[in-house]
């Protein structure tokens, strides 16, 4: 009689020698050993592939060590980290998932992307965390050579998928006011999509313009010029005249970055003043924390060209 908990006796046939009892757990131990070996081999191969891709980007030795620890295999990206649950990535190759048919970009230099991310973090620290979360942003995608419908652009808000694209090399370079405006401009597009059931459509805003004014859509998907000095009456920039959604995004961006100039111009421009008041209400309805105290605080933020 064998102990069924320890071994199974293999009975011998006449003329044959008896086999030694084998542990019942032996097949399971062998299977576990094979699985562990397979995992270790796959990790080694993946690590080698990651190192090869990192070397192709031209990173320094220090950068290779830092970025390899945050490497995300699929899709091929560098993960800069997350803020308020929003992942910031730098694709090393153009993704096949495009928000538009005529849409393309190229990889960004890691140094440029890191610099841009620092500007983004610093600009968004002024906003309540609840406003950033409610905007429905899923990812920040930092790239270069961003093209939309055949035009080079500095940023693009994929409002349907919750992705914000920024070209870290085109348009405003360095930690400038124009870069901050671009960040706030694209952020507001996300807000505009989710703040009510109309999406980007806003006839009430359009009615704030002079009766004979029509937006010029040919200016859309061009490099944003947010220079208020060159802006026509009723608008904070020339680019704001391209569409309702661009008018609103430009108003928000300029109120964030240069609120004193917007307020000063609004005193002698009834249309601009009406849009400023409308924007204050829109963003307060979206996030009650963006109230009068918020705008008073923004007016005191030191801004440098």
Q: Transcribe 14-68 into DSSP letters.
A: TTSPPPPPEETTHHHHHHHHHHHHHHHHHHHHHHHHHHHHHHHTT--HHHHHHHH
Q: Please check whether residue 94 is in contact with residue 148, taking contact to mean a CB–CB distance below 8 angstroms.
A: no
14 occurs within a structural domain: no
The H-or-E segment that residue 145 falls in is strand 139-148
The token pair at 85 is 């649950």
> Which parts of the chain have pLDDT scores under 70?
1-84, 92-97, 170-175, 199, 219-230, 304-305
CA 202, CA 205: separation in Å to the nearest integer?
6
In the chain, what's the furthest Cα-to-Cα distance? 114
Q: What is the pLDDT of residue 195?
A: 86
162 occurs within a structural domain: yes
pLDDT in tens, 44-101: 444 443 333 333 333 334 433 333 333 333 344 455 555 567 888 888 666 556 788 8
8 occurs within a structural domain: no
In the block, residue with structure tokens 């080694």: 44
Neighbours of 149 (CB within 10 A): 11
7 occurs within a structural domain: no
29 occurs within a structural domain: no
188 occurs within a structural domain: yes
38 occurs within a structural domain: no
Q: What is the pLDDT of residue 93?
A: 63
The domain tally of the chain equals 1
User: What is the pTM (predicted TM-score) of this model?
Assistant: 0.71
Q: Please check whether residue 187 is in contact with residue 135, taking contact to mean a CB–CB distance below 8 angstroms.
A: yes
274 occurs within a structural domain: yes
Q: What is the pLDDT of residue 73?
A: 33
- Domain ranges, residue 187: 67-298
Q: What is the pLDDT of residue 152?
A: 87
Q: What is the pLDDT of residue 84?
A: 63
Q: What CATH code is carried by the domain that includes residue 196?
A: 3.40.390
In the block, residue with structure tokens 């930690």: 175
Smallest CA-to-CA distance from 109 within 70, 72, 67 is with: 67
């Amino acid at each position: 009689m064998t102990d069924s908990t320890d071994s199974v006796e293999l009975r011998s046939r006449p003329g044959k020698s008896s086999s030694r009892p084998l542990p019942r757990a032996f097949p399971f131990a062998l299977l576990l050993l094979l699985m562990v070996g397979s995992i270790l081999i796959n990790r080694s191969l993946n690590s080698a592939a990651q190192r090869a891709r990192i070397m192709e980007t031209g990173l320094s030795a220090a950068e290779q060590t830092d970025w390899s620890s945050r490497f995300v295999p699929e899709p091929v990206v560098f993960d800069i980290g997350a803020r308020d649950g929003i992942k910031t990535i730098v694709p090393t190759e153009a993704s096949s998932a495009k928000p538009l048919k005529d849409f393309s970009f190229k990889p960004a230099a890691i140094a440029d992307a890191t610099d841009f991310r620092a500007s983004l973090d610093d600009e968004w620290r002024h906003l309540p965390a609840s406003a950033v979360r409610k905007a429905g942003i899923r990812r920040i995608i930092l790239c270069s050579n961003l093209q939309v419908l055949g035009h080079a652009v500095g940023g693009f808000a994929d409002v349907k998928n919750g992705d914000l694209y920024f070209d870290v090399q085109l348009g405003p370079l360095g930690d400038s006011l124009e870069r901050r405006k671009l960040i706030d401009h694209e952020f507001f597009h996300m807000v505009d999509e989710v703040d009510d059931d109309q999406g980007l459509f806003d006839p009430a805003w359009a009615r704030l313009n002079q009766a004979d004014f029509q937006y010029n859509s040919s200016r859309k998907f061009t490099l944003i010029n947010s220079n208020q000095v060159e802006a026509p009456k009723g608008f904070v920039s020339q680019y704001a005249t391209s569409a309702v959604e661009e008018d609103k995004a430009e108003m928000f961006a300029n109120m964030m970055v240069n609120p004193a100039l917007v307020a000063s111009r609004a005193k002698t421009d009834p249309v601009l003043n009406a849009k400023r008041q409308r924007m204050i209400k829109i963003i307060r309805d979206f996030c009650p924390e963006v109230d009068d105290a918020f705008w008073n605080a923004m007016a005191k933020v030191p801004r440098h060209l």
